[in-house]
Structure 1
């Protein structure tokens, strides 16, 4: 079984994240959405709400699982039996950053490959950071966040 981990903070989970998971399901048998816990960061959504919201979004799809994790992504991959890491790229800056991480992950765990998917046309501008800024300043995020996620925002 081809299992991939899609790791991130997902604060919040956006339509761009949703698109990557949907496209990734054509490549993998199962995708584990891994919400990385960073106790040093103060997020917009608490971790339990992130997990509940993303789980609700994929409740009809048994090929998608949602979990929280701490530590290295490659260690989490080993825990869940994943041989792949799924990452999205919006631009060349993302590539430079993600490539360095992928190379280090490959050094740490040579059996785990990273797959990059380019952002779909029309979604490259969407990031959780920008969505948080729009939301905190009373802007409309309806086109940027799936409705199942919006109801969990406070």
Structure 2
């Protein structure tokens, strides 16, 4: 069985993430969505909250599971017996960072391949950061995130405005 890891902060998960995941689920027998517990990024939601937002949105994929991870991604991938890491590339601006990370991961663990997947062009400008900025100012994010995520953003930012 071919197994890949789809890592990310997913703060929050967007339709762009879901598009990459759908592509990965077609390419691999098993996909593990790995929610990074990375305090250095100062996420809006805890890792547990992010995982809870991801879970209902991956239920339609029988070959997808979700977990939280800490530490080096390639070590996690080896522990999970993964063959590859899937990364989404939205634009050229993503490439340099992702390319350098892939080379470092290959240096640390040559057995794990990194595969870059381009999301549908309608998601090429969508990022979790932009979605949070729009939501923080009360903008409608329904075209960018699943309903449960939109509700979580609304609750969080409404509470902050009170």
Q: Which runs of 4+ in 1 moved over 2 A?
A: 39-42, 59-62, 148-154
Q: Which residue of 1 aligns with 2:100?
A: 100
Taking structure 1 as the reference length, the TM-score comes to: 0.94
Taking structure 2 as the reference length, the TM-score comes to: 0.90
Higher helix share: 2
Structure 1 unaligned blocks of 5 or more: none
Distance 1:104 1:31 in 2: 22
Distance 1:19 1:61 in 2: 12
Q: 1:6·1:33 contact (CA, 8 Å) conserved in 2? A: yes
Structure 2 unaligned blocks of 5 or more: 157-162
Select the structure of larger CA radius of gyration: 2
Q: For residues 88 and 41 of structure 1, do their structure 2 counterparts lie closer, same or farther at Cα, with a shift above 3 Å needed?
A: closer
Higher relative contact order (CA 8 A, sep 6+): 1
Q: 1:57·1:149 contact (CA, 8 Å) conserved in 2? A: no
Partner SS for 1:43: coil
Note the alpha carbon deviations across 1:77-119, whole angstroms, 9 max, x for none.
Answer: 0111111000011111211110110011001110100000112
